[in-house]
Amino acid sequence: MPSIVQELSGHRDLGGLRKVVECPAQATVLREGPAQDSGPGAAWLAYLCSVHAVDLDGWPGPAEHPDTGTMPCGTVLDYRSGEQQLQSHADLWLTPLTGVDPAAHEGAWADVLDQADRVLLARVDEAAAAGEDSPLQNILVLMDVARRAADRGNLRVAATSLTYCEIFAQSL
């Protein structure tokens, strides 16, 4: 018998594994994201505790299913393409953090990530000049990986790198 995850995802391969909120609780709810643009299955599945099922921005879904602590709260199984995942990162934290908007780069992700990398580097340099360690340093290392992957056309690796940046960004 297929699991609920296999059924809800339309038996697609996992595109990325994310942790979108820092929370020590186990999930009580499995939220089904919107339908994929093409083909069967949900775009993503999010495991949430009872608090974050009510209070989590940016992850609206059409349906919820009970869960008995399969995963820690905030775990997201993302079934979207690398490009769609990059757009999700931009919407949720990358553009708010850096001011770099993908819409201004017409989908050229290598340019978007290069620009974001420059913004972050300038801030880290600024902090260093003031004798401070910037918390952005962790993000910068992985942003560089993302930037180079996108430059080679590997948007899935770029998106995977941003999943780590996303976790660091939560503690800023």
- Per-position x/- string for 39-58, each x denoting binding to Zn ion as judged by CB under 5 A, each - no binding: ----------x--x------
By rule CB under 5 A, what count of residues binds Zn ion? 5
What's the min distance (Å) between Cβ of 21 and Zn ion? 6
Q: Does 76 bind Zn ion (CB under 5 A)?
A: no
Nearer to Zn ion, 46 or 100 (CB): 46
Nearer to Zn ion, 25 or 119 (CB): 25
Per-position b or e across 86-119, b if 16+ CB within 10 A of its CB: bbbbbebbbbebbebebeeeeeebbbbbbbbbee
H/E element holding 76? strand 75-78
H/E element holding 96? helix 95-98
What's the min distance (Å) between Cβ of 81 and Zn ion? 27
Nearer to Zn ion, 52 or 80 (CB): 52
Q: Pick from 8, 23, 46, 155 the residue near Zn ion by CB under 5 A.
A: 23
CA 158/CA 40 separation, integer angstroms: 25
Distances (CA, A) of 117 to 26, 30, 81, 95, 129: 34, 34, 22, 12, 18
Phi/psi for 151 (5° steps) reads -65, -35
Q: Pick from 4, 5, 25, 119 the residue near Zn ion by CB under 5 A.
A: 25
What's the min distance (Å) between Cβ of 120 and Zn ion? 28
- Residues within the interface to Zn ion (CB under 5 A): 23, 25, 49, 52, 73
